[in-house]
Chain A
Amino acid sequence: MNTKKEELRLMKYLKIEDNKGHYISQTGDWCEIDQISKDDLIYLLNKAISEDFKMDEYLEENVGHKAHQIVYKSIHEKFSGLVENKNVFKDECDSLFKAAIEKYEVADEEE
């Protein structure tokens, strides 16, 4: 349990341990990667764009479990792509509907 807390502090969400892939579930517990659900993925996605999202690199030799290899590799790649583009994502979000937000907020203030 100590390690879980420690890793949470480091904002690690995907890790490789004992030849298997793991992820942090919504309750904050480490679970095996082949147990991951759609809701877990959505939870992780939100974390990936809002927090310092750390993951263990995928190295085939560290994951002995064949099924874990496939799932971890795929999810790791997907999240890497997203995390890499986090700044682009942030910039894009900041500029989203900027004119509209300002227009309708300003009008609000005037009132």
Chain B
Amino acid sequence: MKKIDLHIHTVSTISDYHFEFDLSKLKEYVEKLEIDCIAITNHNTFDFDQFNIIRDSLDIVVFPGIEIDLEGGHLLLISDNSEMSEINDFSNKCERVRKLINTKDEYISLEQFKEIFPSLDKYLLIPHYHKKPIIKPEVIEQIETLISAGEVSSYKKFKTCVKDEFSLVPVIFSDTRYFSEMKNFSTQQTWVDLEEITLSGIKSCLTDKQKVFLTKEEGNDFFQATAEGLMLSTGLNVLLGERSTGKTVTLDKIFNTHENIKYIKQFSLLQNDAQKFEELLSRRHSTVSEDYLKEFKKVVDNVKDIDLQQNINDIDKYLNSLLKFASDNEKADAYSNTKLFSENHFGVKDLLGLKKLINATITLRENTEFKTIIDRHINLASLKSLEIDLMKEYIRIEEANLKKEWINNLITKVKDELRFRTSLTVPSDVDFYRIMIENEKMKKFVSIVENIKIEKEIDRKEIRGFKIVATTKPFANASHLKKICNRQISLVNAYDKYLKPYSYLVALKKADIEDTELFKYFIDIEYKTLNKLGFPVSGGERSEFNLLHEINDALKHNMLLIDEPESSFDNIFLKNEVNALLRDISKSIPVIIVTHNSTVGASIKPHYVGCTKREIVDNKIVYKTFSGYPSDKQLKSVDGETIDNFEIMLNCLEAGQDEYEKRRTEAYEILKN
């Protein structure tokens, strides 16, 4: 069995964050993690000189490779290392890739890729498979015969691929950058069933799901949790240990060694403050609010610049100037007597409706899914001629519009010229159509606002008996509006007009509320969490709900770590709800629980148990970790040391055997009798 990591970064490229490669760290990594073979795979580049230095300094097999941006995904391409000329040729090809990709969003096409690497069969190709950014299945299909393995990002995905007969052979690698300040090494590598490492040997292993593993001896039911060698189950693990023996330190290490982990820290779920809890709910469910108000936002965006008062002023101005011009008629001179002097502008016809109609006709004609039904009612020929007629009409109106616009411009120009030469004022113009449409918009806006102000339930979700209910509610006063507004501004004047949507909108703008935020000030969306009986939750229940929510959320992650869930809950809740949920989740992702509580630690029936211990050796504190199956009499450390499992259980969960016996016989038995 050999441990391989074929995804390692040693050059900081445009696709990476900045780092200074540190060879000693890479060396430390391969030694500490006992890795047998690595590949250097930088983004779209291969540094030949650096590769030689790395290869010469490590005692393990090092393959030259490259991680290529291909059709929007990433692909590892690894070359053989046996002949210098071969590496040289590979290096030249990589240089061509490098020249083609100059920004982090660029990629090469499959054609370019095949052109640069015409003999793909001599390389090992590993696409990002269940790992972002993935190489699309249709791209894989086109080089399928040369691809047998795909990179995954989590143990869960690795196990799923192994079980799925249609999936590629999964591999999991560190995909890490090595620099002097790094503190934790990744423990994500793949074991392959191989005696001697050669590229062809690895290629052959990676065609067979029976030859890839997460561990050396324990198959795929375990994984290496820390660089120090702690092995844990890919199912449910309980980590025990007395106070200050390094349990949280161990969890932190696991957290820092892996990616995309859900880590529920101790006491983080306590929720005694009802208001903070409501804020948390609002944040968590902000998509519900956004979804609900999406259309309203569009309406507000559309009406926010309408100025009804200005419209009335425009009418007034038009009329006054017209009447004045008419009454001053006796003073008319040659300039003001010209027809154009008092000429109105042409109204231009809006073509939006017709455009929609044309598009609808095209949709009807092009639809293939319901073609038979459409054909039954409208024949294609008349549909086509309808489309043509509508288009002709469109062109006709568009042409007329253009002419009108041209004339309007001319009228304006001539009027301007004439104005300078006469004592009479030019009658101003006004667009009645726009004014009437804006009036209509405002009416509809007001009616929409009145509708949304009616209190109603807009969303309801259930999490294990708890219900989260979102309801709309009008704002009760100006300070209620502060919930929306993060700035220190007074909204008292604005709120006075809350019942008149248009005046309120104007007042909000006056109060300097940003245009993009205006829509939020019309209704409040309140989130309430109800318990099983339908009543608002108590402080304790809020914490319970939080835990259930967080645990549910864990499924989006690769692993779940929980530090002392008992710190926030009572035993009944832990036993009835939490244990069941954690067991369920551990079927999908590894779960690691740190606990002192017997309800969690013992009743949950973990797959695997770990235990931390602090010892003083030569005046120095040494943290040790032991692990084993719950049924094992002894738990073992990485270096073979053992401790008694039963004793550990009683010490950590029951405050020692004496206390346990005392409680059992003195307290519980007495109560029972």
Contact = CB atoms under 8 A, between A and B. Distances in A.
Are A and B bound to each other?
Answer: yes
Interface of A: 34, 36-38, 41-42, 45, 48-49, 66-71, 73-75, 77-79, 81-82, 84-85, 88-89, 91-93, 95-97, 99-101, 103-105, 107-108, 110-111
Contacts of B457: 111
18 contacts: A38-B316, A41-B319, A66-B326, A71-B323, A71-B326, A73-B342, A75-B322, A77-B344, A81-B432, A89-B433, A92-B350, A92-B353, A95-B356, A99-B298, A100-B296, A104-B452, A108-B454, A111-B454
Interface string B312-326: 100110010011011
A37 B436 contact: no
A68 B329 CA distance: 10
A88 B432 contact: no
A82 B298 contact: no
Contacts of B364: none
B359 to A, nearest CB: 13
B435 A45 contact: yes
A88 B356 CA distance: 12
B436 A89 contact: yes
A38 B314 CA distance: 10
A91 B353 CA distance: 7
Given A45-B436, A92-B437, A108-B454, A70 B430 contact: no
Interface in B223-260: none
A73 B347 CA distance: 15
Contacts of B447: 101
A84 B298 CA distance: 29
Interface in B400-437: 427, 430, 432-433, 435-437
Given A66-B329, A99-B295, A107-B458, A74 B322 contact: yes
B315 A111 contact: no
Interface in B332-347: 342, 344, 346-347
A11 to B, nearest CB: 18
Interface stretch (B438-446, B473-481, B628-636): B438-446
Contacts of B302: 97
A81 B299 contact: no
Nearest to A96: B444
A104 B315 contact: no
Contact of B323 (A34, A85, A89, A100): A34
Nearest to B303: A97
Contacts of B310: none
B587 interface: no
Given A81-B347, A82-B433, A42 B315 contact: yes
Contacts of B346: 81
Greatest chain B CB density within 10 A among A82, A88, A110 is at A88
A92 B329 contact: no
Q: Dominant SS at the B interface?
A: helix
B448 interface: yes
Interface in B341-363: 342, 344, 346-347, 349-350, 352-353, 356
Greatest chain B CB density within 10 A among A45, A74, A81 is at A74
Contact of B437 (A37, A79, A93): A93
Shortest Cβ-Cβ A-B pairs, 4 listed: A81-B347, A67-B326, A100-B295, A70-B326
Given A107-B458, A111-B457, A34 B326 contact: yes
A34 B327 contact: yes
A61 to B, nearest CB: 16
Contacts of A100: 295-296, 298-299, 448
Nearest to B449: A104
Nearest to A77: B344
A97 to B, nearest CB: 5
Contacts of A38: 312, 315-316, 319
Given A38-B312, A92-B350, A93-B437, A70 B329 contact: yes
A96 B315 contact: no
Contacts of B441: 96-97
B285 interface: no
B296 A78 contact: no
Contact of A85 (B326, B347, B448): B347
A75 B430 CA distance: 11
A20 B300 CA distance: 45
Contacts of B451: 101, 104-105, 108
B325 A70 contact: yes
B456 interface: yes
Nearest to A94: B353
A77 B322 CA distance: 13
A37 B319 contact: yes
B117 to A, nearest CB: 51
B319 A36 contact: yes
A95 B444 CA distance: 11
Nearest to B320: A38
A51 to B, nearest CB: 13
A21 B445 CA distance: 37
Contacts of B433: 81-82, 85, 89
B349 A88 contact: yes
Contacts of B458: 107
Contacts of A107: 456, 458
A96 to B, nearest CB: 5
Contacts of B427: 70, 74
B315 A49 contact: no
Contacts of B316: 38
Given A34-B326, A71-B326, A97 B347 contact: no
Nearest to B296: A100
Nearest to B472: A107
B432 A92 contact: no
Given A34-B326, A70-B322, A82 B312 contact: no
B448 A101 contact: yes
B352 A70 contact: no
A103 B452 CA distance: 10
Contacts of B445: 97
Contacts of A91: 353
Contacts of A78: 344, 430, 432
Contacts of B436: 45, 49, 82, 89
Contact of B312 (A42, A48, A68, A92): A42
Greatest chain A CB density within 10 A among B315, B322, B327, B350 is at B322
B327 A67 contact: yes
A36 B320 CA distance: 10
Contacts of A37: 319
A92 B444 CA distance: 12
Contacts of B295: 97, 99-100, 103-104
Greatest chain A CB density within 10 A among B299, B323, B327, B427 is at B323
A101 B352 CA distance: 20
A110 B435 CA distance: 35
Given A85-B433, A105-B451, 18 more contacts: A36-B323, A38-B312, A41-B315, A42-B312, A66-B326, A67-B329, A70-B325, A70-B427, A73-B342, A74-B322, A74-B342, A82-B347, A85-B347, A88-B353, A96-B444, A97-B441, A100-B296, A100-B299
